[in-house]
Each structure stands twice: as C-alpha cells, then as structure tokens.
C-alpha cells in the first residue's frame, strides 16, 4: 500500500461479491461446473460465514479463461491447473523482480549520494602528487624510535 488508508467499502477486482448463480451467468458456465472447478482448485472463491461461495471479478475472468482453454484450445483440466499455477508463479516472480529492482535503484542512489558527500568533504588545499620525471624517487622520512 502507499500509506493511505483504503476504504473498506471500496470494490476492487478481488472483492468477492458474486454468488454462484451470478458468477455462472457472467462466466457462461453452469453452477455445477463452478463447483467442480472449486473442488479441483482451478478457481478458489471466498466463502461466507455460512460457507456459501462468493466470486470476485478476477474469479470471473479466471473462469472465462478456464472455459476458453478447455473448449477452444482443447486443454484438459489438469493442464489448465498447471498453466494457472505457472502464470501465478510468473506474476509473483515479476513482482519480486520489480521489488528487487527498486531496492537496487534505491541502494545505487544512496551510494551515489554518499559518494558525493565524500567527494565534497575533500580538502581543497591538497594537490595530487604527480612525478615530474619518471626516474625521480619518492623519499619517505621515518623518525628513529627511542630505544
């Protein structure tokens, strides 16, 4: 969430509002088919306190997809279930990649900001040493330690 409080009465695609008869009508399937899909785990509607099924708009879209894959593509229900699982896995992985990309971008920005702070802290009275002649030597003075 983005920090704002969500209106509990606001409807989203995930809000379970359709009873099985309406979901069946909207998806073009028989209510018994919806029950079978629920038992097989293809579509998992929410349940009311009385155990009645409530379907969301996203569930209706999924039911239409299952119908299309089954009737028009000739894919069996086990294959459809695997397709749905893989699509959910891909969506989760894409979400995770987006999260990690945002974290990397944030870390890179923080690193650049810190690097800029370090560069800004350099003393301006120091001058980099460059050899005047390639044969010149650098002499380091070390005081003798008292014995």
Q: What is the pLDDT along the chain (147 residues), one digit of tens a residue?
A: 455 666 767 888 888 889 999 999 999 999 999 999 999 999 999 998 888 899 999 999 999 999 999 999 999 999 999 999 999 999 999 999 999 999 999 999 999 999 998 888 876 665 666 666 666 666 666 777 777
Q: Which contacts of 40-49 are long-range, i.e. CB under 8 A and separated by 24 or more positions?
A: 40/77, 40/81, 41/81, 42/66, 42/77, 42/80, 42/81, 42/84, 45/16, 45/20, 46/16
pLDDT at 81: 95
How many beta carbons lie within 10 A of that of residue 49, not counting itself? 5
pLDDT at 1: 47
Residue 30, SS3? coil
């Amino acid at each position: 969430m983005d920090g704002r409080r969500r209106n509990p009465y606001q409807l989203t695609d995930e809000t379970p509002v359709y009873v099985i008869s309406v979901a069946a009508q909207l998806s073009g399937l028989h209510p018994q088919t919806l029950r079978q899909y629920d038992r097989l785990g293809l579509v998992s509607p929410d349940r009311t306190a009385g155990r009645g099924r409530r379907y969301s708009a996203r569930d209706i879209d999924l039911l239409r997809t299952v119908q299309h894959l089954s009737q028009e593509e000739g894919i069996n229900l086990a294959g459809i279930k695997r397709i749905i699982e893989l699509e959910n896995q891909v969506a989760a992985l894409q979400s995770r990649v987006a999260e990690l990309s945002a974290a990397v971008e944030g870390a890179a920005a923080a690193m650049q900001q810190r690097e800029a702070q370090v560069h800004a802290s350099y003393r301006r009275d120091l001058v980099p040493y460059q050899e005047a002649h390639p044969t010149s030597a650098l002499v380091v003075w070390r005081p003798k330690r008292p014995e």
